[in-house]
Amino acid sequence: MILGVALGEAALSVVAVDDGGLTWPVARGVARTASRVCVAVDLGGAPTAPVAAIRVGGPCPEALRPVVGTGVATIVRGGHSVTGRPLAPLDTEAVRRFAATCGLADFAVTATGSPMLADHELAVAAIVAAEVPEARITLSYEFGYPGLREREADAIRNAALGPEAGRIADDVARELPGVPAYFARSGGGLVSAHYFRRFPLTCDLGAVASLARGRAALAESAGAVRGPVGGAAPARGEGAARSGGIASGGGAFGGAGVPEEVEVPDGVATAYGAALGRPEAHVERIVQARGRAELDRVLRDARDEALTRVVSAGAAPGSAGIDEVTVNPLSYLPDGLYRVRVTAGGRPWAG
């Protein structure tokens, strides 16, 4: 049995999915026997932590500095061009000084040119970790966008959501001890609780995506929706048949293999959509390749990275595979620069 959970602002919806059938509500004792739980949540209104933002690059006007709200920010010398050419040596001492004195634990690091070459972001992360052992560090290159300010904004928001994501993951683990947890991605698919803690931004609109998927599945499904589980028997009939009847709130409807349509609440549809997902991961990079052989090599590297990432996102290693690869040349830039996006997916290792 797979458990689907929708964490709403006002209510919690929990469903059970077994052999294609959907049942709700679900008793706590039954929920704790699930093979895995898939959680859908929107983080748009979630509490955020103050962030220490480090931009690696040249000076800029005040209006273009990192936007951190209640956090703090600095700009240090360093970075690379879009082709990977060093613009300046990294000012390691400035990084060390900022990390040691900012007084925060959530860091966002953005360097110019990092989608092509992430060396300076990785070097900054190493310095921060040495100065602040408890630091949680987001690196912008992991989001892959070529635009610095877009990457920076996402890195800062990801870092700001980290503590709240950790709290949510802890609450799920406490409520369902021993049940492996996954979280719904904004663009569809799932990630592991570990991945969610590290990259909560990937699940920023997880409930929105799960609702769309759940509604589509309900519209197409010939299976049953029934309830309750682990509670009293349905008031009318003995429960819905998997092949036809649909029931909710204890009442069974439909018969003779022809289901009568009933209203399924959004929360239930969202939880159902989350339960139908599978682990997915994306890698987006700017690469330089002078010729087909070099492009094939960098594509192999990107595929390998995507496969590694989807296993980190909770896919069983033997099930991980590449779903999609897109390669687009970058206009108005030197020849041989491409934007590469690789999507990988797999079967959940749990359940």
CATH code where residue 315 lies: 3.30.1490
Q: Does 155 map to a domain? A: no
pTM above 0.85, yes or no: yes
**In a shared domain, residues 267 and 304:** no
**In a shared domain, residues 240 and 302:** no
**248 is in which domain, residue-wise?**
2-42+205-275
Q: For residue 104, what are its two tokens?
A: 């925060």
Residue ending a domain, among 251, 275, 299, is 275
Question: Which of 65-74, 194-203, 224-233, 327-336 shows the lowest mean pLDDT across its residues?
Answer: 224-233
Q: How far is Cα 329 from Cα 287, in angstroms, rounded to an integer?
A: 10
Q: Does 63 map to a domain? A: yes
When divided into structural domains, the chain yields a total of: 3
Q: How far is Cα 248 from Cα 234, in angstroms, rounded to an integer?
A: 9
Q: How far is Cα 199 from Cα 197, in angstroms, rounded to an integer?
A: 6
**In a shared domain, residues 120 and 87:** yes
**In a shared domain, residues 118 and 58:** yes
Q: Does 31 map to a domain? A: yes
User: Could you report the per-residue pLDDT of 169-179, keeping only the tens digit for each?
Assistant: 999 999 999 99
**In a shared domain, residues 23 and 84:** no
Q: Does 118 map to a domain? A: yes
pLDDT band at 242 (very low <50, low <70, confident <90, very high): very low
Residue ending a domain, among 275, 295, 327, is 275
pLDDT at 58: 86
Ranked by mean pLDDT, the top range of 54-68, 90-104, 232-246, 281-295 is 90-104
**In a shared domain, residues 269 and 285:** no
Report the sign of the C-alpha dihedral through residues 172, 174, 176, 182, in that order.
positive
Give 21's contacts (C-beta < 8 A, 6+ positions apart). 223, 224, 225, 226, 242
pLDDT at 144: 74
- With beta carbons less than 8 A apart as the criterion, state whether 15 and 22 touch: yes
pLDDT at 180 over 90: yes
Q: Does 351 map to a domain? A: no
Mean pLDDT of 129-157: 93
| Distances from the Cα of 287 to the Cα of 113, 118, 213, 226, 301, angstroms | 11, 12, 33, 50, 11
- With beta carbons less than 8 A apart as the criterion, state whether 106 and 52 touch: yes
Mean pLDDT of 260-274: 87
pLDDT at 241 over 50: no
**In a shared domain, residues 56 and 142:** yes
Bridging pattern class, strands 225-226 and 21-23 = parallel
Q: Does 134 map to a domain? A: yes
Q: Does 263 map to a domain? A: yes
pLDDT at 89 over 70: yes
- With beta carbons less than 8 A apart as the criterion, state whether 116 and 84 touch: yes
How much is the CA Rg of the chain, to the nearest whole Å? 23
Q: What is the mean pLDDT of the chain?
A: 87
pLDDT at 32: 92
Q: Does 152 map to a domain? A: no
